[in-house]
Amino acid sequence: MSDILSLNGRVALVTGAGQGVGRQIALHLAAHDAGGVIVNDFVLDRAQGVVDEIKAAGGKAIAGQCDVTDLAAVKAMVKQGEEAFGQAVGVLVNNAGNAGANPNPELAKPFWETGPDVWNSFIGVNLYGVMNCTAAVIPGMIARKAPGRLITIISDAGRWGDANLEPYAAAKAGAAGFMRSCARTLGRYQITANSIAIALTATPAVRRRLEGDPETLRRTLEKYVVRRPGTPEDIANMALFLASDASPWITGQVYPVNGGFTMAL
Ligand SMILES: NC(=O)c1ccc[n+]([C@@H]2O[C@H](COP(=O)([O-])OP(=O)(O)OC[C@H]3O[C@@H](n4cnc5c(N)ncnc54)[C@H](O)[C@@H]3O)[C@@H](O)[C@H]2O)c1
């Protein structure tokens, strides 16, 4: 039976894919006929673990260890992946985020008591990381003369705002604006660019944090129409759809996947 969500052999790069949401996106893409998945993470062991999972399930993957805030390192990783799989990247999922590879210990302070060196933990990975990876894949994606997909995982913090997370919200909103402009520039090459805005998602790390604080979890979930945290699968389903050949006429959009925490017009 044909797979409406097939990647039809396109090579994918998923950043921050060593755990959590990115891991599940990498597994989903590999299971739907990716020609290969470059599993990026700053932590090599994590990336390699996901590569092993994909290979055990019969898919193709390599680990791409680098910090996405380093443009030269990102370009080298993309080149290595393209050589390994014999074709340019056709799907980029910018997922690496949160506070990045080396969070500044002062991030918890009010942002007005700190400065750009601290804010950069958020801006670096969530905005420059997205721009670096996108810049690295676009030349090859255009040269393929075939459908291409740019997908960025943002947060409802970037659509709706989130108290005490101003630099993070700024970076995520910036990434969504960047995707919209990419959509306008690259539509003529059959390349689409969209963002997925997620809310509380029970990755293993988030689950561990919440298990110790059931009262906070209860109060948080009161704001969700579907009263549970999201799962990595909830997010990966949307990423797969946007990466597949089922979505060629969808571009420049931000899709909330958030249990109804906020609603888009
Ligand atoms: N989990 C949530 O509740 C939630 C909510 C809103 C948005 N998000 C966003 O969803 C995405 C995935 O979140 P998650 O909770 O699964 O993440 P996570 O923190 O569990 O995992 C992120 C992975 O990215 C890697 N990474 C971090 N900085 C990197 C860098 N500079 N270069 C390369 N790799 C790097 C980490 O090593 C880690 O393995 C992020 O963009 C995050 O901002 C998550």
Q: Identify the sign of the CA torsion 29, 31, 36, 38.
A: positive
pLDDT grade for 208, boundaries at 50, 70 and 90: confident
Cβ of residue 101 lying under 6 Å from some atom of ligand 1: yes
Determine phi and psi for 149, rounding to 5 degrees: -135, 125
- Please tell me the distance from the alpha carbon of residue 30 to that of residue 57, in angstroms, as a whole number: 9
- Flag whether 124 is in a domain: yes
Is the C-beta atom of 72 inside 6 A of ligand 1? no
Residue 14 in contact with residue 29, Cβ under 8 Å?
yes
| Ligand 1 atom showing the smallest separation from residue 101 Cα | 28
Q: Does ligand 1 lie within 6 Å of residue 205's CB atom? A: yes
218 occurs within a structural domain: no
Q: Which of 192, 193, 162 is nearest to 175 (CA)?
A: 193
Residue 47 resides in a domain: yes
CA of 145 to the centre of ligand 1 (A): 31
| CA of 16 relative to ligand 1 center, distance in Å | 6
**Residue 205: predicted pLDDT:** 85
Active site residue 255: no
| Cα end-to-end span (Å), the chain | 36
> Which residue's alpha carbon is at the smallest distance from atom 36 of ligand 1?
16
In a domain, 157, yes or no: yes
Cβ-based neighbours of 170, under 8 Å, separated by 6 or more: 122, 123, 127, 158
Mean per-residue pLDDT for 213-219? 90
Say whether pLDDT at 2 is over 90. no
pLDDT in tens, 126-166: 999 999 999 999 999 999 999 999 999 999 999 999 999 99
> What is the tally of structural domains in the chain?
1
Q: Establish if 213 belongs to a structural domain.
A: no
Pull the structure tokens for residue 90: 């056709």
- pLDDT tens for each residue of 93-103: 999 999 998 99
Query: Does residue 59 sit within a domain?
Result: yes
The preferred substitution site among 98, 126, 201, 203 for testing ligand 1, maximizing ligand atoms within 8 Å of CB, is 98
Instruction: Give the 3-state secondary structure of residue 115.
Output: coil
> What is the C-alpha to C-alpha distance for residues 90 and 213, in angstroms, rounded to an integer?
41
- pLDDT score of 210 more than 90: no
The whole-number pLDDT of residue 184 equals 98
pLDDT of residue 146: 96
Task: Report residue 17 as tokens.
Answer: 């894919």
In degrees, rounded to 5, the angle at the alpha carbon of residue 54 between the alpha carbons of residues 257 and 153 is 25
pLDDT digits (tens, 9 = 90+) for 171-190: 999 999 999 999 999 999 99
Domain of 74 in residue numbering reads as 11-203+231-254
- What does the alpha-carbon distance between residue 88 and residue 82 come to, in Å, rounded to a whole number? 5
Q: Residue 194: its pLDDT value, please?
A: 98
pLDDT digits (tens, 9 = 90+) for 15-25: 999 999 999 99
Mean pLDDT of the region 57-64: 98
Q: Which residues contact residue 207 at a Cβ distance below 8 angstroms, ignoring those fewer than 6 apart?
A: none
* Domain harbouring 119, CATH code: 3.40.50.720
Q: Is the CB of 261 under 6 A from ligand 1?
A: no
Residue 148 lies in a domain: yes
Would 223 be classed as within a structural domain? no
- Asked if the model's pLDDT at residue 36 lies above 90, the reply is yes
